[in-house]
Structure 1
Amino acid sequence: MIYRVEIENFYSVRERQVLDLTVADNVRADEEHLMPLYEGSDQRAPKIIAIYGANASGKTTLLRAIEFIAGFVCNSATPTEISQDIHPFNDDECLTKPTRLAIEVGGIINPEYLSEGAPYEMGTLRYELVVQAEHGMVSHVISETLSQRPARKIKWSKVFDRQGNEVVKNAAQFRLNGFRHLLNTLKPDASLISTFAFFTHPTAHFYAKALGSWVYTNLNVVPAFMSGDHTLMQRLKADPVLLKALNRDLSRIDLGIQQFAVEDVPNLGPQGRFTHAGHTRDLPWEMESQGTQAFVRLFPVLAEALSMGGVALVDEFDTLLHPLVLPEILRWFYDDQDRNRGGSQLWMSCHSATLLEYLTKDEVVIAEKTSQGRTHFYTLADMSSQEDKAPVRRSANLYKKYLSGALGGVPIVG
């Protein structure tokens, strides 16, 4: 799980922003909303992180930062690399400065546990990346550092420290024996982890998975009007288990739908069709309601994160979905007895104030943009450190406070 994100000179973020979601064990909070950073940890973090703010305030920037790190760690060295956009803050000074990103995650930190019979060790990992961007892409890596902190320890120890194309430090967990030659061909715009994992380095695979392969997102989905949802239909057609799970939840949120199926049509490929109660003919995908289509598009991201114990990054979570469907999806992530036994997280940007009726102050992040176009983040649990803002009580009505403007993150109209 992700409990800390740091961003500097990335899209609308200019100055370094630190988002720390940890909740100490002595804080009284709704337990179903929180989970330990790792098994046995005294600190907890929320299962759901809801990012609120006015239009263009930088909500998506936070999601993009996490997505970028995950993709860079996993895919930047692969021949089939998908281009990842990266842009510094848009002023003359920042365009020539590096972008700095970091995340901290909790979980298993000892890659040796992958060997049969080896014990596993819990703790936290910290990944720091400093890159120079040009023309919307990484031109070169300035530094890349991975550190770990075992359970009950205070200090971090470095797994590796890369400066440019040189590894200046590596621990036993990231041995270079038999792989040192890769440093001679290390691409300046690729991750050390991604490079070594591609060439089957045993522990690089572990760290790639721990830091990024569990992230699922709708951020880079091709718009429906461009793709006709062809990729979505191919995916559902190829995965009967996912399609069955989708039908189960569709029947719960739309009483009129009896079944959704995907069939191959000559010259068209896989096409979606809905069977409705009382209809003698199936309804084709393009004639279904926009709300149902939105739910189907979002479902694979949520289902895969929940089944894999991963992180779902959802931009515009509440777009087109009925207000009563939204809290139902939140309940999936709160349900650690059935739907979310793997400790998955949901990070979402949204506008729906009614969702605040279901959230606690630990779960709400506010994105605000200054008159100079600079994005700042803060949590409601951290309101006391914000200028001109009072602390938020756990018993406070977040819905009323947000609409009144007391929490920030609302548009100024007129």
Structure 2
Amino acid sequence: MLSRFTVGNFLSFNKPQSFSMLASSIQKHKQRLFEADDVKLLKFSSIYGANAAGKSNLIKAMAFARNIITHGTAESPDTSFYKLDPKAKSLPSYFEFEICISGRLYSYGFEMIISEREITEEWLILLGPSKNEELFTRNSTTGRYTYDTTLLSRKEDAAHFEIYINDLKHVANKLFLQDIVTNKEAIYAENERLAILKQVYHWFEVLDISFPDSLVSGYSCFSTTSTDEILAAIRTFATGISHVEAKKVSKEKALEEVPSDFKKKIDKALVELVNQNKSVNPASGMRISCNGKLYLVRMNEKEPEFNEITFEHNKLKDVTFSMDEESDGTQRLFDMLTVLLCTKEPAVFVIDEIDRSLHPQMTVHFIKNFLALAKKKQIQLVVTTHESHLMDLSILRQDEIWFVEKNALGASLLIPFDRFKERFDKKIQKAYLDGRYGGVPLFDSFFFPQDFVDEDEDEQEELP
């Protein structure tokens, strides 16, 4: 579960800004909180903001950091630093996740000079109520590193670990966390505490981040869920779909007209899927959208099995529709159903622009459905949205609402709604749209072409 995410010097974020899932002392809806290590975590959070305020950039920062952790720096964008400060290009960017694993809180993060693709610092810390424990730290600039010797119970393993971390002390293009979990199984066999490194790495492997244009999603639920369950879920959203069919197709058939660069992305994702099934998540799968069709992929022994999903409407047999024949709203709905049908716990989902192409009532219905499930399941959802109908304190807690807006210098700031100390029964939607809390665009003028004449204005001038 996610406790906090902090980012600095990335896209529109200049100085470090923190987004928190820590629950406040609010008593409302306590049944959907997650308790861990003397703290309580929210299972849902919504992030509001005007266009270009930085909402999506926050999600992009999470995705960027996750990709560095799981794939390395070689293919990372080198222009994603904060460009409004000329000095930022040569300064390190900051990424830190506070996460909950087995009831305990850990801080994992790194600093990176994005323009050079160089990691400068990295750390993993066990957070305690009174004292923190540094499990490892490293600085590739100075070559200094530390690690907790109690992670290793055997001297020979301690010597190997020392070699592994020493080899990377000046290496700036690779994270130690990724290196120590790759092809080093022997060192984990007799060192139970060391397993936390693999668990932290796996947390990032299965962190599900979705954008409106995502073509490949690593969600596990559809590929392990029957079409009957998919249908039961989708029927509650009044789409007109009366039947869902899964038809097995070959990988070659599914990808026959796919561009080569996209096919490489698919092959890379399939390798990751195979690796996940070898380790701790044997039920994992993924969803692929290509050429207007939806494919759910799962592992069948050691081979990926592709199933094309098609739909029937109004109980008309033998009249099927592929995904690109469905409305934009129905297509977007599938990003959301993956959350409701999730079969793995704990699970963290992040969806950017959840209300894209959706009717306001459909967005609200989905969130209400998720919040009901969250009372029983260890699932967590973070969304960005413009949907003001969710600004209802009968639905959300005050600490489940955040705003993003830019300061006078153009840098994005994160603002928690509970800072405003509003009563739990206050009607906040109108106050939000009026700009009371920020996070909305405020307009003070119109644009007219030079030859445009406002006839109403002329009529008013002629009045005596």
Compute the TM-score of the two structures, normalised by the length of structure 2.
Answer: 0.71
Structure 2 matches for 1:311-350, cutoff 5 A?
311-336=348-373, 341-350=376-385
Q: 1:258 offset after TM fit, Å?
A: 1.5
Residue 58 of structure 2, aligned match among 53, 62, 66: 62
Tell me, yes or no, if structure 1 residue 100 matches structure 2 residue 130: no
Paired residue secondary structure (1:14)? coil
Q: 1:105 offset after TM fit, Å?
A: 1.8
Could you tell me which amino acid in structure 1 is paired with residue 12 of structure 2? S
Q: 1:407 offset after TM fit, Å?
A: 0.9
Alpha-carbon distance change, 14 to 235 in structure 1, aligned in 2, over 3 angstroms: closer
Specify the alignment match of 1:355 in structure 2. Answer: 390
Structure 1 stretches lacking a partner, 5+ long: 109-121, 224-230, 384-390
Specify the alignment match of 1:132 in structure 2. Answer: 113
Structure 2 matches for 1:74-93, cutoff 5 A?
74-76=70-72, 83=76, 87-90=80-83, 91-93=85-87
State the distance in 2 between where 1:373 and 1:411 align: 14
Alpha-carbon distance change, 331 to 157 in structure 1, aligned in 2, over 3 angstroms: same
Alpha-carbon distance change, 66 to 7 in structure 1, aligned in 2, over 3 angstroms: same
* Structure number with larger C-alpha Rg: 2
Specify the alignment match of 2:47 in structure 1. Answer: 51
Count of matched residue pairs: 370
State the distance in 1 between where 2:219 and 2:50 align: 34
Tell me, yes or no, if structure 1 residue 245 matches structure 2 residue 233: no
State the distance in 1 between where 2:337 and 2:17 align: 31
Q: 1:373 offset after TM fit, Å?
A: 1.7
Residue 331 of structure 2, aligned match among 281, 293, 311: 293
Paired residue secondary structure (1:296)? helix
Specify the alignment match of 1:8 in structure 2. Answer: 8
Residue 147 of structure 2, aligned match among 163, 167, 170: 170
Which deviates more from structure 2 when the two are superposed, residues 168-177 or residues 259-268?
Answer: 259-268
Q: 1:10 offset after TM fit, Å?
A: 1.0
Identity of aligned residues (%): 19
Could you tell me which amino acid in structure 2 is paired with residue 352 of structure 1? E
State the distance in 2 between where 1:236 and 1:49 align: 22
Q: 1:174 offset after TM fit, Å?
A: 4.2
Q: 1:412 offset after TM fit, Å?
A: 1.4
Q: 1:221 offset after TM fit, Å?
A: 5.0
Residue 263 of structure 1, aligned match among 230, 243, 247: 247
Structure 2 matches for 1:219-230, cutoff 5 A?
219=211, 222=214
Specify the alignment match of 1:143 in structure 2. Answer: 121
The answer on whether the counterparts of 2:77 and 2:114 sit within 8 Å (CA) in structure 1 is no
The answer on whether the counterparts of 2:435 and 2:442 sit within 8 Å (CA) in structure 1 is no
The answer on whether the counterparts of 1:160 and 1:174 sit within 8 Å (CA) in structure 2 is no
Q: 1:264 offset after TM fit, Å?
A: 5.2
- Give the root-mean-square deviation of aligned CA atoms: 3.0
State the distance in 1 between where 2:94 and 2:232 align: 43
Specify the alignment match of 2:278 in structure 1. Answer: none
Alpha-carbon distance change, 373 to 238 in structure 1, aligned in 2, over 3 angstroms: closer
Tell me, yes or no, if structure 1 residue 193 matches structure 2 residue 177: yes
State the distance in 2 between where 1:213 and 1:242 align: 24
Alpha-carbon distance change, 85 to 398 in structure 1, aligned in 2, over 3 angstroms: farther
Paired residue secondary structure (2:440)? coil
Residue 406 of structure 1, aligned match among 436, 456, 461: 436
Q: 1:303 offset after TM fit, Å?
A: 3.8
Compute the TM-score of the two structures, normalised by the length of structure 1.
Answer: 0.79
Tell me, yes or no, if structure 1 residue 365 matches structure 2 residue 364: no
Q: 1:99 offset after TM fit, Å?
A: 0.2
Alpha-carbon distance change, 320 to 407 in structure 1, aligned in 2, over 3 angstroms: same
Which deviates more from structure 2 when the two are superposed, residues 48-57 or residues 241-250?
Answer: 241-250
State the distance in 2 between where 1:196 and 1:370 align: 41
Tell me, yes or no, if structure 1 residue 215 matches structure 2 residue 207: yes
Alpha-carbon distance change, 27 to 235 in structure 1, aligned in 2, over 3 angstroms: closer
The answer on whether the counterparts of 2:221 and 2:344 sit within 8 Å (CA) in structure 1 is no
Tell me, yes or no, if structure 1 residue 161 matches structure 2 residue 137: yes
